[in-house]
Amino acid sequence: MKRVFAHVFALASPLFAATAAFADEGGVSFWLPGTYGSLAAVPGTPGLNFTTFNYNDFASVDKNAYVVRMGAIQAGLASRTNEQFISPSYVFGTPVLGGTAALGVTTAVGKNLTSVGATLAEANGRMLSGNESDSVIGMGDMSPTATLSWAQGANNFMTYLTGNIPVGIYNSWQLAAIGLGHAAIDAGGGYTFYDPATGHEFSAVVGATYNFFNPATQYKNGIDGHLDWGASQFLTKNFQIGAVGYLYRQLSGDTGSGAKLGAFESRVAGIGPQVGVNFPVAGLQGYANLKGYTEFDARDRPSGWNVWFTITLSPTGLPTAPSAKN
C-alpha cells in the first residue's frame, strides 16, 4: 500500500520529491485473512496430505480516502490478485505430547495487477494528475508450517507455528508483487467443536505475526493480530453449509526510516458464506470447500472481496473432516 503512495507522490508533484516514501509494507500482511476456516483444529489423517486452493481477490481504496497537507492529494488504488496455492503436508501417526503432529509447506504461483491514480490540488490552485499500473506473474514466498492437534470427543484443539521465507517475485520499486520482501513468523492456536451425530460445527483460530525488517525499503511492519472463524451444519455426512469470517488488526505501528507515513496501523474484517463436500477419489479421501468474503471496517488497507476454492486429498480411514486448512 505504501509503495503506491510513493508512486502517487512521484506522479502528482515534485513538491513531494523530498518526502516520497519508498515504504511498501502497509496494508499487505503475511497472514492472509481467511487462511483457516471450518474444522481447522480437527486432527489430520496420518500420512501424506495435499491441499491446493485458488485465491481470487479484488481490493481497492477510494480516491477520496487520503489527504496530505501542502495542498491535498486524492489517491485511488485497485488491485486484482489470482493465485494458486500448493500445500503438501505429512501427518505423523506416532503421537506427540498426546496429539497429532504435522509438518507442511505452502507456496503459490499467480498474478497481481495493481493500478493507481492521483490528483493533486496545489496551494496555488493548480491541479496535477496521473495514473500508473503494474502487473507481475510468478512464484510467491514459501511458508513452512508445523501443527499439533488434539481430539477429545466433539472438542478439538490445535496449535500452529508458521513463517515466511521471502523467495517470491518482489521488487520494491514496482506496484505489483507476489512476494512480501521480508521474513515473518506467526503462531497461534485454534478450537473446533464438531459433533458428527448432530452435524454441528464451529471453529476459531487466533494468532499473531511478528514481521522482520525489510532492508530494501528500510521498513518494518508492526505486530499483527488475526482471528479466522467458521461455522457450519452438516446436512448429510458429507455435505456442509455455513458461514466464515475474519478479523485482522495491527497491534503495533510500523517503524523504520522508510515509514514516512507514520505508524499506518491497518485493520479489516470479512464475512461470507461457505459450502463443503467430502468425496472419495482414487482410493483417497477428498474434500472440496468454496467460501467467499466481503470486507468492511478497513483502515490503512485496501478492501473488497475474495473467493477461495480448496481441494484437500488425504489417506482414507479417519475423520470425514478435511485434514488441512480450508
pLDDT digits (tens, 9 = 90+) for 136-152: 899 999 999 999 999 99
Task: Answer whether 17's CB lies under 8 Å from 278's CB.
Answer: no
Give 138-205 as a DSSP string. Answer: EE--BEEEEEEEEEETTEEEEEEEEEEB--SS--TTSS--SS-SS-EEEEEEEEEEEETTTTEEEEEE
Give the CATH fold of the 36-62+80-111+138-315 domain. Answer: Porin (2.40.160)
For residue 315, the tally of other CB atoms under 10 A from its CB is: 16
Q: Residue for cell digits 492437534?
A: 149
Q: How big is the chain, counted in residues?
A: 326
- Write out the chain's pLDDT in tens, 326 residues: 444 444 444 443 333 332 333 223 545 789 999 999 999 999 999 999 999 999 888 877 665 444 433 344 445 667 788 899 999 999 999 999 999 999 999 999 998 887 776 655 554 555 555 667 778 899 999 999 999 999 999 999 999 999 999 999 888 777 778 888 999 999 999 999 999 999 999 999 999 999 999 988 888 889 999 999 999 999 999 999 999 999 999 999 888 887 777 777 889 999 999 999 999 988 899 999 999 999 999 888 778 899 999 999 999 854 444 433 45
What distance in Å separates the CA atoms of residue 296 and residue 33, rounded to the nearest whole number? Answer: 13
Assign 310 to helix, strand or coil. strand
> What burial class does residue 197 get, using C-beta atoms within 10 Å of its C-beta: 0-12 exposed, 13-18 middle, 19+ buried?
exposed
Dmax over CA atoms of the chain, in Å, equals 74
| Residue 2 main-chain phi, psi, to 5 deg | -70, -25
